[in-house]
């Protein structure tokens, strides 16, 4: 398991919505004919709560499913079923270190460490610079005497650098192949410039700062011997904790291998600062908003909204925490305490990373943290950044640190990708003959809706700026 992950053992729950109250409000009457007291498919349309026969059959079904899960999971981990069930009732969110201690996982490891172990087990494919591997389809076809060998050759293997055999990364973006026009490997040294622009979100993608995607680009620069230094251009208010840690891991590994400089744009706050902390040098603009060293959990509760509509929600579950993820009820004090424990753990880790990365006393970091934002000018005085300047200044710093002064080198930077979501919004706002569909909606509200769409951390925990600011 990676750091800041968790084993979610909360049981099984089914939430059923009942619409009779809403139908009554709007004057809709539903007439039903049926046979059998357990034939409950129509009940949500005619009742305001779950019938006892339906609750009975739902409870029995979930119980059977849960029994199978608990038995097989306990057997797989070499645990007693009773002990496994007790874990589920004690804590629905088990962090990595605790999961290892309890035997739910074997070790904490980042992706690069998994690759290293696979290389040790399977041997290294020197041509692909990763571990020996075979595509699943190829493996299956190897048992088929009539399999088409030509079809096997079309399957793509994905290695450590995230590229397939066609030189395309996992997100479908074309990457430079490091060859010149004559097809020979380009030996010219370079400084790689990677953009981390937008909200930090979990997973892979072509827009925003997708943790896996940005980490893969950094890893590619780390493994490329022709890249002599890395400049990470950060323009982000933060976001997902897990995605920030994925990026930071690659930043730390790269900083151990070659010079790393961060160039801060308008924002490099919270998660944006998290991913910057281990750079050899941080260059910020005087008006950069940075800092915001803090953590929060986002727990929406739509109970009031659903009640206004007349819709009723009833739940069947196998344990007291099984519906902890429900948005139709507030969290209990006990549940909030468990979530706060996770928030506190991550905040402590945030302080540790800034303290170690910036070579600052932890108490000093704690004094300037607490979620407070700072301007680039203030951050310089506080030791959160090293100098004031723009991207050109960051490139100059990388050149010096890489020993490239007076050397002919290239600057390698991928083109920035436009957010397809905002492109659609702009089209809808365009004053065409058909009229602007969304003209009555303030752009600031659309931007806020866009930011909410990006809150996808699997634990619902974020290192992010406390506000969205628009200057006019």
Distance, CA of 254 to CA of 230 (rounded, Å): 8
Question: What local confidence, expressed as pLDDT, does residue 284 receive?
Answer: 97
Using DSSP bridges, classify how beta strands 200-201 and 209-210 pair: parallel, antiparallel or unpaired. Answer: parallel
- Cβ neighbors of 76 (< 8 A, separation 6 or more) are none
Question: What SS3 class is residue 194?
Answer: strand
**pLDDT at residue number 460:** 56
Predicted confidence (pLDDT) per residue in 35-67, tens digit: 888 888 889 999 999 999 999 999 999 999 999
Output the pLDDT for position 413: 75
pLDDT category of residue 115 using cuts at 50, 70 and 90: confident
Does pLDDT of 320 surpass 60? Answer: yes
pLDDT(131) > 80: yes
Inform me whether the pLDDT recorded for 301 exceeds 80. yes
CA–CA separation, 396 and 411 (whole Å): 11
Q: 299 with 455: CB under 8 angstroms?
A: no
Greatest mean pLDDT among 15-29, 404-418, 451-465: 15-29
Distance of CA 222 to the CA centre of its chain: 21
What structural domains and CATH numbers belong to the chain? 6-108+301-331 (no CATH), 111-152 (no CATH), 190-294+341-420 (3.90.226.10)
Categorize the per-residue pLDDT at 401 as very low, low, confident or very high, splitting at 50, 70 and 90. very high
> 448 vs 244, 452, 464, 467, CA distance in Å?
21, 6, 14, 10
Instruction: Indicate the average pLDDT of the chain.
Output: 83
- pLDDT, one tens digit per residue, over 206-251 is 778 999 999 999 999 999 999 999 999 999 999 999 999 999 999 9
Running DSSP on this structure, what letter comes out for residue 228? E
Q: Which two tokens stand for residue 472?
A: 């006019």
| pLDDT single digits (tens) 132-151 | 888 888 888 877 655 455 54
Active-site residue 90, yes or no? no
Structure tokens at 63: 């119980």
Query: Measured between alpha carbons, how far apart are the two ends of the chain, in Å?
Result: 45
Which candidate, 292, 313, 285, 290, places its Cα nearest to that of 301? Answer: 313
How confident is residue 302, by pLDDT bands cut at 50, 70 and 90? Answer: very high
The predicted-structure confidence for 341-391, as pLDDT tens digits, reads as follows: 989 999 999 999 999 999 999 999 999 999 999 999 999 999 999 999 999
Q: Give the three-class secondary structure for 383.
A: coil
Query: And the tokens for 66?
Result: 């849960």
Of 221-230, 235-244, 329-338, 444-453, the least confident: 444-453
Closest CA to 376 of 391, 387, 361: 387
CA atoms within 13 A on the CB side of 277: 27
The pLDDT of residue 454 is 55
Residue 21 CA to residue 393 CA, distance in Å, equals: 64
Cα(438)–Cα(417) distance, integer angstroms: 24
When pLDDT is averaged across residues 177-201 and rounded to a whole number, the result is 78
Q: Which residue has the tokens 């299956």?
A: 140
Q: What would the two tokens of residue 336 be?
A: 């909030």
Selecting among 37, 39, 303, 420, the annotated active-site residue is 39
Q: How far apart are CA 385 and CA 273, in angstroms?
A: 10
* Length of the chain as a residue count: 472
List the structure tokens of 267.
């924002």
Show Cβ contacts of residue 450 under 8 Å, excluding neighbours closer than 6 positions: 419, 421, 422, 425
pLDDT of 261 above 60: yes
Of residues 210, 270, 276, 292, which has the active-site annotation?
270
C-alpha–C-alpha distance, residues 177 and 197, integer Å: 24
Tokens 């990763």 -> residue: 130
Backbone dihedral region of 71: left (phi > 0), alpha (psi from -120 to 50 degrees) or beta?
Answer: alpha
> Is 351 within 8 Å of 97 (Cβ atoms)?
no
Is residue 276 pLDDT above 50, yes or no?
A: yes
Instruction: In whole angstroms, give the CA distance from residue 328 to residue 359.
Output: 45
What local confidence, expressed as pLDDT, does residue 166 receive?
41
Question: What does the angle CA 403 – CA 409 – CA 414 come to, to the nearest 5 degrees?
Answer: 115
Beta bridge partners of 387: 283
* Tokens read off for 453: 């769409």
**Known catalytic residue at 263:** no
């Amino acid at each position: 398991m990676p750091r800041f992950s968790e084993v979610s053992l909360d049981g099984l729950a089914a939430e059923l919505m009942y619409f009779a109250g809403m139908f009554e409000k709007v004057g809709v009457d539903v007439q039903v004919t049926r046979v059998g007291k357990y034939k409950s498919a129509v009940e949500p349309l005619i009742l305001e709560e779950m019938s006892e026969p339906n609750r009975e059959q739902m409870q029995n079904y979930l119980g059977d499913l849960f029994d199978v899960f608990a038995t097989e999971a306990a057997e797989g981990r070499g645990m007693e079923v009773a002990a496994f069930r007790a874990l589920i009732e004690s804590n629905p969110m088990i962090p990595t270190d605790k999961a290892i201690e309890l035997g739910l996982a074997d070790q904490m490891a980042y992706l690069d460490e998994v690759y290293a172990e696979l290389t040790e087990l399977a041997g290294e494919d020197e041509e692909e610079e990763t571990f020996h591997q075979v595509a699943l389809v190829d493996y299956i076809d190897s048992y088929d005497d009539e399999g088409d060998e030509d079809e096997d050759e079309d399957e793509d293997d994905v290695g450590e650098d995230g590229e397939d055999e066609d030189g395309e990364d996992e997100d479908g973006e074309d990457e430079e192949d490091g060859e010149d026009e004559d097809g020979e490997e380009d030996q010219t040294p370079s400084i790689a410039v990677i953009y981390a622009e937008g909200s930090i979100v979990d997973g892979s993608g072509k827009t925003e700062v997708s943790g896996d995607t940005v980490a893969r680009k950094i890893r590619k620069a780390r493994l490329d011997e022709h890249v002599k230094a890395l400049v990470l251009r950060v323009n982000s208010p933060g976001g997902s904790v897990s995605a920030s840690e994925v990026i930071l891991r690659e930043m730390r590994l790269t900083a151990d291998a070659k010079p790393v400089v961060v160039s801060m744009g308008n924002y490099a706050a919270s998660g944006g600062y998290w991913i910057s902390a281990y750079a050899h040098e941080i260059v910020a603009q005087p008006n950069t908003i940075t800092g915001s060293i803090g953590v929060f959990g986002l727990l929406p509760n739509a109970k009031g909204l659903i009640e206004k509509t007349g819709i009723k929600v009833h739940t069947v579950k196998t344990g007291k925490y099984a519906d902890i993820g429900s948005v139709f009820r507030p969290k209990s004090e006990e549940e909030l305490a468990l979530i706060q424990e996770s928030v506190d753990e991550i905040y402590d880790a945030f302080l540790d990373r800034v303290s170690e990365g910036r070579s600052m006393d932890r108490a000093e970091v704690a004094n300037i943290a607490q979620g407070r934002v700072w301007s680039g000018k203030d951050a310089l005085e506080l030791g959160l950044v090293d100098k004031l300047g723009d991207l050109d200044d960051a490139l100059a710093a990388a050149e010096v640190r890489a020993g490239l002064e007076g050397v002919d080198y290239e600057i390698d930077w991928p083109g920035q990708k436009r957010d397809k979501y905002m492109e659609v919004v702009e089209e809808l706002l365009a004053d065409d003959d058909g009229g602007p569909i969304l003209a009555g909606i303030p752009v600031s509200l659309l931007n806020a809706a866009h930011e909410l769409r990006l809150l996808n951390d699997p634990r619902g925990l974020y290192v992010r700026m406390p506000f969205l600011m628009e200057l006019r």
